[in-house]
């Protein structure tokens, strides 16, 4: 069984509390929170005031995915929002090792994210320090994009790196996840599936979450 992390990027921000309550009542394992700065990615989503509002209502652990430059500036603020996992992009961190240690010292799980064109070898010297690897299966910035098939090869390579190194990291996949792509991901070693538009555009989001979890 895979874990599921619905992304609130595709929620209705006009009734965010209702959508978070829906996730509380669902089988979701995490709530995935996408922060975009308009610099690292060509879109702006929301920041700490909104995350704090989500945290007040959320009963699931928060998985915060920072699509921003120099995310080390915000380690304490992410922690103060009550995040369990802090995801930073390898492409956004000049001193990735230091950032990972800062995240762990702040009491959070450290996750490192790779864009679709960033090779898995970039993780080789940090993998044993990580709690999670997040592989982007779309170019970050927007919900509702199509899954990039090359992700499957990267997923297998990441699983192999984790095995060879003895790392305890879990593998999360983000972008274009639905029942078809999710099944292939689960079969190839994904531990956690992020799903935004597929969950929130469904008539019965809780059922979709339950179906994804069975993959």
Q: Which of 66, 148, 46, 173 is nearest to 110 (CA)?
A: 66
Can residue 144 be called a binding residue for ligand DX5 (CB under 6 A)? yes
29 is catalytic: no
> Which of 68, 120, 123, 141 touches ligand DX5 (CB under 6 A)?
141
Can residue 85 be called a binding residue for ligand DX5 (CB under 6 A)? no
Binding site for Zn ion (CB under 5 A): 34, 65, 174
What distance in Å separates the CA atoms of residue 69 and residue 33, rounded to the nearest whole number? 16
> Which of 2, 26, 35, 143 touches ligand DX5 (CB under 6 A)?
143
Can residue 140 be called a binding residue for ligand DX5 (CB under 6 A)? yes
Task: State the burial class of residue 6 (Cβ atoms within 10 Å of its Cβ: 0-12, 13-18, 19+).
Answer: buried
Position of minimal CB gap to ligand DX5: 196
Exactly one of 63, 131, 174, 191 is catalytic; which is it? 174
CA-to-CA dists, residue 148 to 15, 87, 141, 215, angstroms: 31, 20, 14, 19
123 within 8 A of 158, measured Cβ to Cβ:
yes
Can residue 34 be called a binding residue for ligand DX5 (CB under 6 A)? yes
Shortest approach of ligand DX5 to residue 66 CB, angstroms?
10
The residues facing 153 across adjacent strands are none
What distance in Å separates the CA atoms of residue 133 and residue 120, rounded to the nearest whole number? 10
174 is catalytic: yes
> Which of 126, 138, 212, 215 touches ligand DX5 (CB under 6 A)?
138
171 within 8 A of 190, measured Cβ to Cβ:
yes
> Judged by CB under 6 A, which stretch of 3-11, 72-80, 97-105, 184-192 contacts ligand DX5?
3-11
| Cα first-last separation, the chain | 6
86 binds, among Zn ion, ligand DX5, none (CB under 5 to 8 A by kind): none
3-state secondary structure 50-66: HHHHHHHHCCCCEEEEE
Can residue 194 be called a binding residue for ligand DX5 (CB under 6 A)? yes
Active centre residues (catalytic): 34, 174
Residues that bind ligand DX5 (CB under 6 A): 7, 9-10, 32, 34, 65, 138, 140-145, 174-177, 194-198
């Amino acid at each position: 069984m895979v874990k599921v992390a619905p992304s609130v990027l595709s929620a209705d921000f006009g009734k965010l509390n209702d959508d978070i309550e829906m996730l509380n009542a669902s089988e979701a394992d995490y709530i995935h929170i996408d922060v975009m700065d308009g610099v690292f990615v060509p879109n702006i989503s929301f920041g700490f005031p909104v995350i704090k509002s989500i945290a007040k209502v959320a009963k699931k652990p928060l998985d915060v995915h920072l699509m921003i430059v120099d995310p080390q500036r915000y380690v304490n603020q992410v922690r103060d929002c009550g995040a369990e996992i802090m995801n930073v992009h390898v492409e956004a961190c000049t001193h990735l090792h230091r950032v990972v240690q800062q995240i762990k010292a702040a009491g959070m799980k450290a996750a490192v994210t790779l864009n679709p064109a960033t090779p898995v070898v970039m993780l080789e010297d940090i993998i044993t320090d990580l709690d999670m690897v997040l592989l982007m299966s779309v170019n970050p910035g927007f919900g509702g994009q199509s899954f990039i098939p090359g992700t499957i090869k990267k997923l297998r390579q990441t699983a192999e790196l984790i095995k060879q190194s003895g790392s305890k990291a879990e593998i999360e996949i983000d972008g274009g996840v639905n029942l078809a792509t999710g099944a292939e991901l689960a079969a190839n070693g994904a531990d956690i599936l992020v799903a935004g538009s597929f969950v929130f555009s469904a008539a019965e989001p809780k059922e979709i979450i339950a179906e994804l979890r069975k993959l």
